[in-house]
Amino acid sequence: MNIVTCQRGELDFNNLGGVITAIVDQYGAREESIKLADRVVSGKRLAISQGQKQGGALFGYDREILDETGRPVRRVSATESFQKPASWSSRLVIASDNEAVEAVRYMFASVADGVAYGSIARVLNQRGVTTMFGKRFNATAVRRTVSNPVYAGMIVGGRKRRGKFRSMHDDGDVICENTHEPLVEPALFDKTQRVMRKRRHMPRARTPGRYLLTGLVYLADTGRRMQGYTSRHADEKTLRRYYALPPRYFEEYPEESDRPSFRADTIEKAVLTKLQEFMSNERNKHGICNEINRRSKKAKSNISSLESRLAAIRTRIERGTENLALASRDDMPGISRLLAGWRDEEAELKEKLEQTQGEATISPQAIEVMANLEELMTRLSEANREKLAFAIRQTVKRITLRRERRGDGKHRITLWEGEIELREELGTNATLSLTDDDVPSPGRWREVADFIRTKGGAVFFKDVCDHLGIKGSCVSRMLAQSVLSGKVINLGHQKGWIATPL
C-alpha cells in the first residue's frame, strides 16, 4: 500500500523504511501541534489579561469597534454580524436595546431572591422577550446567563477545558476586572453565585427498581412520557414518589402551568393488580408461555442460518483477497468489484444478525415473576423491586393515562383513566383498562362517595357529617364533588344521596 503525503511525497508501506518515515512524521506533526497550541493559549491569556474579550457580544451588550488610533468607528449589536480588520479592536458597551438590558437585570435580581430558573423564563416569555437568536427562554438559558461574570464587568478565561493539546484551564483561570461597564453590580453578581451554589447538590446513586414503571407511563393528550421523582411536603418527614413530566418539557415550554403528577404508589399498585388478574387466568398464562417458546425457537433458527451465511461470505472474501494479491493488472478491477459486493453482503448479514440477536424476547424468568404476582402483592415491600420492574418491562409495552377535569373553582375534581398495552411478543392483543377507581387522585370527596356506596341506601347530610367528623360547607362541597364525579346521585335535600348503580 502506498500513501501520498504533501511533505514526503509517496510512502511505500510495503517496506520498513516507509513505515518508519510515516511514524516519525506523525510524531513531528504532534509536537508541532502542541507548540502551536501553546502559542495560541499564551496569546489568549495575554489578550484576556489586557481586557480583550474573546468572541462576539453577549445578550445585553453591544460591541464598540475601534480603529488603529482607538477612535470609535461603529457599534455592532449582539445579533449583527461584523468582521473587523485585524488591526482594529473592540470593547463591550451596554446594549442600546433596553429590553435586553432590563431582562438581564431582572434575571440576576430574581435568582438572588430565590426565584426558580423556569419561573424566570416563563415571565420573560410572557413579556415577549427572546434570546439574541430569536428563541424562547428556558431554564438553561437563564442559568447560563446569570453564571457569566462578563455581566459584572470582568472577563474570565479558562473556566472549562477546551482544546485537544493545551487549554487555558490547565494553568488556572485568567481574570481581568473592570474591563467594561457592568450590567449588574458586583455585589448582586456575588449574591447570585452564592444562591446558585446552594442550589447545586450531588446526584444520589440510582436505586434500581425504585420506580417500577420507568419508561412506560405516557399522557394520552400530549403523548409525552412521564418519569419518576421524589418530593417532600413541608409538613412531612418522608419522601413521596411521583410520576410526572421530566424537567426538559418545562424548559422547552416554561409558560405551561399545567404540570400533571401522579402518586407512584397508586399507579404501580393498580398496574400490578391488573397484571395479576390477567396472569391468574390459566388460559392466558399457557398461551403466553407457548408463544414465548415458539418465538425463541424461531429466533435461534434464524440466528443459526445467518451465522452460517456470514461464515461462508467471509471465507469468500478471504480467498478473494488472496487472489487479488496474485492477480494480473488486467484482472484486478474485476476481482475488486467482486470483493466490494461480498463486503456489502457481509455488512448486510452482520446487521441482520445483530438485529435478530437484539430482538427482545420475553424472559421465562419474567413470566415466572408475573405468575407469582398474587403472592408478591401481599408482601410488596419485601419483593425484589429490580426483578419486578424488569418483569413489568418484559410484559408491558405502554401505559397511557387520560385526565378529565370537571367543575371549576373549589368544586373542581380530577378523574383519571387509561389502559395498559401488553407487548406483542406475548402473543396476545390484550389491552387492560384502568378506571378512575383503579387510579384515584387525592380528594376527601372520594371518601364520601365510598361511604355512600358502602351504606347501600339513601344517605343524608347529617350521616356524612358524623362519618367525617366535620360539619358545614366542607361537607356540602364534598357531596357536590361526589355528584360531579358521577359516582353519587343527589335525590334532593329531603331524600338524600345514593350511589350510582354499577
Q: What is the Cα–Cα distance from 360 to 367, expressed in whole angstroms? A: 14
| Inside any domain, residue 433 | yes
| Inside any domain, residue 26 | yes
Residues 432-489 have pLDDT tens digits of 889 888 888 778 888 888 888 888 888 888 888 888 888 777 888 888 888 888 888 9
336 and 259 together in one domain: yes
Of 391, 409, 440, which residue constitutes the final position of a domain?
440
Tally of CB atoms within 10 A around 86? 6
222 and 76 together in one domain: no
90 and 221 together in one domain: no
Does the predicted TM-score (pTM) go above 0.95?
no
Terminal CA-to-CA distance of the chain, rounded, Å?
A: 82
Instruction: Give the domain extent around 463.
Output: 445-499
Do the Cβ atoms of 249 and 261 come closer than 8 Å? no
Q: DSSP letter for 381, please.
A: G
pLDDT band at 364 (very low <50, low <70, confident <90, very high): low
93 and 213 together in one domain: no
Element (H, E) at 200: none
What are the cell numbers at 493?
335535600
Q: What is the Cα–Cα distance from 52 to 69, expressed in whole angstroms? A: 16
| Inside any domain, residue 56 | no
80 and 36 together in one domain: no
pLDDT at 22 over 70: no
- Specify the range with the lowest mean pLDDT, choosing from 148-157, 360-369, 378-387, 412-421: 360-369
Element (H, E) at 298: helix 282-326
Q: What is the Cα–Cα distance from 37 to 500, expressed in whole angstroms? A: 79
Of the ranges 111-115, 206-210, 254-258, 343-347, the best mean pLDDT one: 111-115
271 and 296 together in one domain: yes
Residues in contact with 150: Cβ distance below 8 Å, sequence separation at least 6, in sequence order: 53, 58, 61, 92, 156, 180
- Specify the range with the lowest mean pLDDT, choosing from 226-235, 370-379, 386-395: 370-379
| Inside any domain, residue 54 | no
Q: What is the Cα–Cα distance from 129 to 145, expressed in whole angstroms? A: 14
Residues in contact with 224: Cβ distance below 8 Å, sequence separation at least 6, in sequence order: 218, 245, 249
Do the Cβ atoms of 185 and 209 come closer than 8 Å? no
Domain count along the chain? 4
| Inside any domain, residue 35 | yes
| pLDDT, the chain, mean | 76
Residues 404-425 have pLDDT tens digits of 888 887 788 888 889 999 877 6
What are the cell numbers at 195?
444562591
162 and 219 together in one domain: no
429 and 449 together in one domain: no
| Inside any domain, residue 55 | no
The alpha carbon of 415 is separated from its chain's Cα centroid by a whole number of angstroms, namely 28
CATH code for the domain of 76:
3.90.1750.20
| Inside any domain, residue 190 | yes
Triad 185, 187, 188: Cα angle to 5°: 70
CATH code for the domain of 470:
1.10.10
Phi/psi for 479 (5° steps) reads: -65, -40
405 and 483 together in one domain: no
Do the Cβ atoms of 65 and 88 come closer than 8 Å? yes
Residues 153-209 have pLDDT tens digits of 877 765 555 555 555 545 555 566 667 788 889 899 999 989 988 877 545 545 666
99 and 165 together in one domain: yes
293 and 354 together in one domain: yes
107 and 170 together in one domain: yes
